[in-house]
Amino acid sequence: MTPPSRDLPPPDVLRPHAEVAHADELARLAAADPGPRPPGWRLTPRAVATYLMGGTLADGSVISPKYIGDRRLIEVAIATLATERALLLVGVPGTAKSWVAEHLAAAIAGDSTLLVQGTAGTDDSALRYGWNYARLLAEGPSEAALVPSPVMVAMRAGKLVRVEELTRMVGEVQDSLITLLSEKTLPVPELATEVQARPGFNLIATANLGDRGTNELSAALSRRFNVVRLPVPATFEDEVAIVTRRVAELGAALELPVAVAPLEAIERVVTVFRELRGGVTLDGKTRLKTPSGVLSAADAVSVVTQGLASATWFSDGRVRARDLAGALTSAVLKEPAQDRLVFEEYLKVAAKGRKGWGELVQACLDALP
């Protein structure tokens, strides 16, 4: 295990870190609100909220929204990080948990790169520390042989560390955080020493609800977190706005000559997702069977971006039904044997009679396996 690089990426990387991509906004927010800040913070809590939710500064400059949803949820998350309590963002897959965590770290600490990715195979060295075994065998335990985890680096530097998919780690590994979060101390018994967190340190974890392959947190660990649940977009308009913004950002990052998808295509994909996810048409008149997958806004972004790429590289840049159908069908059919019947019924019962939907319905039917 090697510690994360502290070097900022070059400006032409595919996906710059949030603190690089939005460096100008962060600098303007810091200048516009010089008020008191929690120890170790780059911005005031109010400025962090503006960075996440968007707004207009006193000089008339605009801060773009990074999260579209309930402002109060973001304020609770920010207030949590200003205390000694860690933050756990939970929700179904695709509700922007990782996205919010990254932008919180960028705004508060100026560094979103301290990250632990949780998996079933993650061991406690990812949360505590590891060893350079060549030096360990040659010299025995020493500071030079110790390999700090991102958590240890954050404690020493007084920064935020992110732990993605906390509940995918086994319980014994999760519980290695208990002492760290309660005492703000990481013991290193092999060196008869410890690392004590500096002001500004805290931890943001994310976890999916009802996902396969997850492990419940112990009661002792749960008490160390304040939990904020991020919901799916509340309204059709919010979800369309989220998908529109993310598709435009991805199109620009991928340098697609036509980087903007038509609103009509986005609205139709969002309509399909919201109706199948909710089990009822948007007008509330027809009950529907639901597929096995969640069908999140992130999935909708992927479908529209793939359609945009297909139209750009293999057609005239105009997104048509055939460009969306393959990706849309693939997104819905997470479990093909079960979901095929659900989607086919939806297309024939709910979507087929809608004005202007005929081409998309037929293209999706043709794309069914």
CATH code, domain carrying 134: 3.40.50.300
Quote the pLDDT of residue 284. Answer: 94
Quote the pLDDT of residue 182. Answer: 94
Mean pLDDT of 301-325: 91
Structural domain ending residue among the three candidates 193, 214, 229: 229
Domain count along the chain: 2
Residue in the structure block whose two tokens are 């649940």: 229
Q: Which domain holds residue 70?
A: 18-229
Same domain, 309 and 222: no
Mean pLDDT of 28-53: 96
Task: State whether residue 288 is helix, strand or coil.
Answer: coil
101-117 per-position pLDDT tens digit: 999 999 999 999 999 99
153-176 per-position pLDDT tens digit: 999 999 999 999 999 999 999 999
Alpha-helix runs per DSSP H in the chain: 18-21, 23-32, 45-53, 71-81, 97-109, 133-139, 150-157, 171-174, 177-183, 219-222, 236-253, 263-278, 297-314, 321-332, 336-346, 358-367
* Whether pTM exceeds 0.85: yes
Structural domain ending residue among the three candidates 229, 263, 280: 229
Q: Would you state the structure tokens that stand for residue 172, as one six-digit string?
A: 């014994």
Same domain, 254 and 176: no
Q: Would you say residue 120 has pLDDT above 80?
A: yes
Same domain, 22 and 147: yes
Q: Which of 80-84, 142-146, 245-249, 361-365 has the lowest mean pLDDT?
A: 245-249
Same domain, 217 and 256: no
Structural domain ending residue among the three candidates 229, 248, 270: 229
